[in-house]
Amino acid sequence: MRKLSGALGALALVGTLALAGCSSDDGGASGQDSGGHQTLVVYAAASLTDTFTQIAHRFEADHAGVTVKLSFAGSSDLVAQLQEGAPADVFASADEPNMKKLTDAGLAAGDPVPFATNVLTIVTPPDDPAGITSFQDLGKSGVKVDVCAPQVPCGNAAKEVEEATGVTIKPVSEESKVTDVLAKVTSGEADAGLVYVTDAKGALAKDPDALKQIDFPESSKAVNTYPVVAVKGSKHADLAKEFVAAVTGEAGQKVLQDAGFGAP
């Protein structure tokens, strides 16, 4: 039985808030502050933390009087929040199935737009204590592997690779978002973890000695497509569409590709 780590219940639905702007006053979430200041609330998959923060800063610079509030968490958790009525203007998912949950619930303002792709990679502590060299090694007895929970896009991708290769991983823990897997590996709590190539690249850019990255050809069996859409009922519908355009436009695409994301 896989151990479920991280708060996948009510606590997980809170998400991780990251303010892209200087103001912490959100004017009632997706509302408007006194003096005409507007706050755009963007829900985005945890694997988009660095890239969407950059895109949001640029968006604010191009839109005077606008603050972008970014909420990062697992895509499945974010969809659950939106289905329960949480106010948001834009949603970016790490896969299409979770976006379909939003559209099926009638919460998308228009058709979602694919804007990036991502694949998995293996990360280990710098000294690689378990001697991991391939995806098959993750199925060996005694190897402490950390993965995302199956309802999270990165966890579903891991299951797809397992099914395609016939390798069975028995993880010591399952996380609610990919950044938690990365944290378990860099802290030495796990011998190896499955994360997106973009997460590994970002961690190594900040600290070249943070971890060891091991790419594997079987990752092509599970390519996640990331879609983005304006949320129905947004008080800033036009602004939300402009943010979607910023993500899918040339400048946004360069930020994403520089971070290691593939083209949609």
Token reading at 154: 């990165």
Confidence of residue 236 (pLDDT cuts 50, 70, 90): very high
115-172 per-position pLDDT tens digit: 999 999 999 999 999 999 999 999 999 999 999 999 999 999 999 999 999 999 999 9
Q: List residues forming the annotated binding site for molybdate.
A: 47, 75, 178, 196
Within 13 Å of residue 30, how many CA atoms lie on the same side as its CB?
A: 22
Q: To which residue do tokens 């559209």 refer?
A: 103
Contacts of 262 (CB under 8 A, 6+ apart): 116, 117, 118, 119, 223
Take residue 221 and report the two structure tokens written for it: 């069996």
The predicted pLDDT at position 85 comes to 95
DSSP H stretches of helix in 193-235: 197-206
Within 101-154, strands assigned E span 113-118, 120-124, 145-148
Average pLDDT (46-63) is 97
Degrees (nearest 5) of the Cα angle 127, 133, 138?
A: 95
Q: Residue 132's pLDDT is what?
A: 98
Total-model pTM: 0.85
β-pair partners for 121: 195
Angle between helices 96-104 and 75-83 (to 10 degrees): 0
Mean of the per-residue pLDDT values of the chain: 89
Contact 13, 85 (CB under 8 A): no
- Pair 167, 136: CB distance under 8 Å: yes
Q: What's the pLDDT score for residue 36?
A: 75
Q: Which domains does the chain have, with CATH numbers?
A: 11-117+226-258 (3.40.190.10), 120-221 (3.40.190.10)
**DSSP letter string over 44-89?**
EEGGGHHHHHHHHHHHHHHSTTEEEEEEEE-HHHHHHHHHTT---S
Q: Are 157 and 224 a contacting pair, CB within 8 Å?
A: yes
Residues of each annotated binding site: 47, 75, 178, 196
Is 25's pLDDT higher than 70? Answer: no
List alpha helices for the chain, DSSP H. Answer: 49-62, 75-83, 96-104, 153-165, 178-186, 197-206, 237-248, 250-258
Sequence-distant (≥ 6) Cβ neighbours of residue 35 within 8 angstroms: none
* Closest alpha carbon to 99 in 82, 86, 87: 82
- Asked if residue 173 has pLDDT above 90, the reply is yes
Nearest-angstrom CA–CA distance, 264 and 251: 15
Separation between Cα atoms, residue 37 and residue 15, nearest integer Å: 24
